[in-house]
Amino acid sequence: MTVKKMQKRLFGTNGVRGIAGKDLTPELVLTIGAALGSMRKGRIAVGRDTRTSGEMLVKALKAGLMSMDCTVVDCGILPTPALQYIIKDTFDGGAMITASHNPPEYNGVKIIEPDGTEMGDEETILLEQRIFDRSFSPVTWDQAGSEIQSPELIEQYIEGITRQFPNTPGKNMTVVADPGSGPACLTTPRILTSLGCRVLTINGIMDGTFPGRLPEPSVDGLKNCAALVTSSGAAFGVAHDGDADRAVFIDEKGQFVEENQQFALIARHICRTKKGVVVTPVSTGYNVETVVTNENCSIEYTPVGSIYVARTMRALLARGKPVIFGGEGNGGLIYPEHQFCRDGGMTAAMMVSILATSGKPLSELIAELPPRIILKDKITTPDGNRMIDFVKTRYSQDLLDETDGVKIHKHNSWILIRASGTEPIVRIIIDSDSYDEACELQKEINNHISQLS
């Protein structure tokens, strides 16, 4: 069973995104706040990342919420998973002003449900309906909502992670933290220090212009982090995206750890301590399935998007299935015993625990995993669905999976072709255990697509 994807008009896979002041205006954010306040009455927690437009937009969001008589609790600057942790079961909802990994000029809004998960498709479509119809009106002067400033709530999140690792697994371990000038400056170095690590921090001062590197933690952007890891003799470097729901790693040799390998390593560790189901989108590398099934656990696939992973995890648990882990092959991993959202700070802590348990260097642990070659491509097309239908007919003799777009299984490899929900592009991922086979499949799929005109 899996949660189905539904088409939305304004919200993408992870909320509304756009260039601040141009696409994402204060007026739009005020309307989103008012629509949300009309739908989720009560105490609403809000927060933001470090972007320069954040203060302007969070004030618009709060005004919208208060115009619907909500009590707004402003948690200040904090990672998205920290806000989700704070909201979980103690608020009537929440909203985060963030554009995650997008460049500095972008910003966005993510809506959080009272259980701490991102709002699902059905509810988001109802919220969009209110935004477009403006089917709400502000309360009268004597009923306007109020605001409480609660920057101290971030402590709950830090404690929520550190108490899961009680035996100071980071003792005698040096690590490099690269929060990328984002909100994890306030959390990840403290979490790692609490675990006993000696922490060196790079890009550790919050700055919405992102002077050290862009919010997307790329191989190129992490060169300075990698250099600090090797020069300091650190066990690893950990870097986050702009709202720290993702974490990526640099091994002790200064090499970037491919995110599917990172997922496979953490999945193997978790599957060795408990047995159950691991949930992930169809775009995740086959190496994750291989390590999970080798440890006598099972895998469940979902459409692409962390919200489908989180909601499928919850749905499976509600049906009595033992769900032990979930996540995406981009460093966004979900630990159900902690919370049902991607959490970069938790992933950083988990890596300390894995290295302490194994006693091996990170590069050696990665080398133990099944090798996979992943090639990614994107094609601009106004009609992605037509391209996908065409590809389906070309591969009708193969095993096809239509969970999201079409995934073609061939020998020990697969090709995934899916249309973006927000841009006129089709994304192609090829995953194989051999470089030659991956290139062969890439050539083959490009040949098929070139016949479509």
If the CB atoms of residues 245 and 404 are measured against Mg ion, the closer one turns out to be 245
210: left (phi over 0), alpha (psi -120 to 50) or beta: left
The candidate with the shortest Cα–Cα distance to 180, out of 201, 158, 157, is 201
If the CB atoms of residues 170 and 332 are measured against Mg ion, the closer one turns out to be 332
What does the H/E/C string look like for 410-435? ECCEEEEEEECCCCCEEEEEEEECCH
Choose one: 2-10, 97-105, 274-282, 365-373; the region binding Mg ion (CB under 5 A).
97-105
In whole angstroms, give the CA distance from residue 271 to residue 322.
12
If the CB atoms of residues 221 and 254 are measured against Mg ion, the closer one turns out to be 221
By beta carbon distance, the residue nearest Mg ion is: 100
- Provide the 3-class DSSP secondary structure of residue 271: helix
In whole angstroms, give the CA distance from residue 259 to residue 276.
22
Cα 144-146-152 angle, rounded to 5 deg? 165
Does residue 289 interact with Mg ion by CB under 5 A?
no
Choose one: 62-70, 95-103, 131-139, 251-259; the region binding Mg ion (CB under 5 A).
95-103
- Provide the 3-class DSSP secondary structure of residue 45: strand
Choose one: 124-132, 225-233, 235-243, 262-270; the region binding Mg ion (CB under 5 A).
235-243
Torsion angle (degrees, nearest 10) of CA 12, 13, 17, 23 = -10
Does residue 241 interact with Mg ion by CB under 5 A?
yes
Q: How many residues does the chain have?
A: 453
The minimum distance between CB 246 and Mg ion, in angstroms, equals 5
The minimum distance between CB 215 and Mg ion, in angstroms, equals 8
In whole angstroms, give the CA distance from residue 280 to residue 288.
9
If the CB atoms of residues 67 and 107 are measured against Mg ion, the closer one turns out to be 107
The minimum distance between CB 130 and Mg ion, in angstroms, equals 26
If the CB atoms of residues 100 and 203 are measured against Mg ion, the closer one turns out to be 100
The minimum distance between CB 344 and Mg ion, in angstroms, equals 8
Q: Is 218 a catalytic residue?
A: no
Torsion angle (degrees, nearest 10) of CA 331, 335, 338, 343 = 10
In whole angstroms, give the CA distance from residue 58 to residue 331.
27
Does residue 49 interact with Mg ion by CB under 5 A?
no
- Show the tokens assigned to 202: 């790079």
If the CB atoms of residues 2 and 100 are measured against Mg ion, the closer one turns out to be 100
> From start to end of 244-293, where are the E strands?
247-250, 277-281
Choose one: 100-108, 226-234, 285-293, 424-432; the region binding Mg ion (CB under 5 A).
100-108
If the CB atoms of residues 74 and 243 are measured against Mg ion, the closer one turns out to be 243
Question: Which strands make up the sheet holding 43-48, listed edge to edge?
Answer: 16-19, 106-112, 93-97, 43-48, 71-77, 147-149
Choose one: 98-106, 289-297, 383-391, 392-400; the region binding Mg ion (CB under 5 A).
98-106
How many residues belong to the site for Mg ion (CB under 5 A)?
A: 4
If the CB atoms of residues 241 and 300 are measured against Mg ion, the closer one turns out to be 241
Choose one: 51-59, 243-251, 395-403, 421-429; the region binding Mg ion (CB under 5 A).
243-251
Q: Enumerate the β-bridge partners of residue 419.
A: 426
CA distance to 386, 438, 449, per residue, from 415 (Å): 17, 9, 13
The minimum distance between CB 382 and Mg ion, in angstroms, equals 28
13, 67, 100, 290: residue in contact with Mg ion (rule CB under 5 A)? 100
If the CB atoms of residues 180 and 405 are measured against Mg ion, the closer one turns out to be 180
Regarding beta strands 406-410 and 413-419, do their DSSP bridges make them parallel or antiparallel, or are they unpaired? antiparallel
74, 178, 245, 431: residue in contact with Mg ion (rule CB under 5 A)? 245
- Show the tokens assigned to 215: 């919010």
243, 252, 289, 300: residue in contact with Mg ion (rule CB under 5 A)? 243
Site string for Mg ion, 184-223 (x = CB under 5 A): ----------------------------------------
The minimum distance between CB 245 and Mg ion, in angstroms, equals 4
Site string for Mg ion, 415-434 (x = CB under 5 A): --------------------
The minimum distance between CB 389 and Mg ion, in angstroms, equals 32
- Burial category of 399 from C-beta neighbours within 10 Å (exposed 0-12, middle 13-18, buried 19 and up): exposed
**Catalytic annotation, pick one of 38, 53, 100, 413:** 100
- Show the tokens assigned to 203: 């890009």
The candidate with the shortest Cα–Cα distance to 308, out of 118, 95, 88, is 118
Catalytic positions: 100
Which stretches of the chain bind Mg ion, using CB under 5 A? Answer: 100, 241, 243, 245
